[in-house]
Every structure is written in C-alpha cells, then in structure tokens.
Structure 1
Amino acid sequence: MIPFSDEELLEPVQASIDVIRPMIEADGGGIELVEIKNGVIYVRLSGHCVGCAASNTTLKMGVERQIRNDIHPELVVENITNQK
C-alpha cells in the first residue's frame, strides 16, 4: 500500500521526472506528467520517444526506477499513449 495521496505525490513525482528529463531530452525525447490517479503515475512521452522500440525500457528502467528510488518502491508509471 502506498502511504501517500495522489495530491501528496504531485510535487515529489515532478521532482523525480525533472531529474531524469535531461537524459530523455538528450536522445530527442520528452516527458510530461499528465496525472496521478489511485497511485498510478501517468506520463506522456514525446519527441523521438513516440514509436521508439526502447520507449518502454525508458519508461520502466528510467522513469519508474527513478520515482521508485526517490519516493516509494510500489509506484507504477504508465505512458498514456500506450493505453487504449
């Protein structure tokens, strides 16, 4: 169980995304925090990340790992373009 409300997560999640953002931008990509709902963090990858075969690795091994290390190990990050 995640001991934070969605509202409490906004600022720390944004700070974690800001840490990883330069690495994503260095490869021509971009990332935007869209919303946090029921402890799930929804982001939008953009630029070269759209359609890139490595974008899921960037999302899970980069963004999600950073957020889990910084905030809580049970947090999940989803790219909204991957949702149906």
Structure 2
Amino acid sequence: MKNLTKAFAVIALTTASFASFAATEVGMAPTGAQSIGTVSAATNGNNLSALQGKLAAKAAEQGASSYRIVSAGGDNHLFGTAEIYK
C-alpha cells in the first residue's frame, strides 16, 4: 500500500513539473497570439542556455504559452528580455 501511495505521489509531482515549463520559445510572434508583456532575467557567467531557461520559467510563471527573446547581451553577466504571448 505504501508503494502504491509513493507511486501516485511521484506521478503527480512529475506531471506538475512539466506543467510549470509550459511556455515554448518561438522565433517570431505567433499568428493570432496576444502579447501580454515582457519578462527579464540575468545570470552570472556566460551560459546562454541558463539565461534562456530563466526566461522560459518567468514566462511560464506569468501564464504565457510562448515567448520570444528580443534582447540578450553581456560578457560575464548575461541579461535578456523576452516578449510573452498568450
């Protein structure tokens, strides 16, 4: 019985984690989508993937279905901005 309860807990947590990263990156504004604002993020170091991940997480937090990175820059401290769409 304990194993069954643990299995259901794992399934529920796995499903919840996938839902939290629902925003997908797009190359241009999606047709018919409404812009709902922008999000910004910064990272230490020069890992562009980490910056992209932070922007995706912030877009998902705001309820966006997709986002488009409109600016990114920096040397040892990266920063970026993304427009978010619903």
Give the TM-score band, short-chain normalised: 0.3 to 0.5
By percentage of residues, which structure has more strand? 2
By percentage of residues, which structure has more helix? 1
Larger Rg: 2
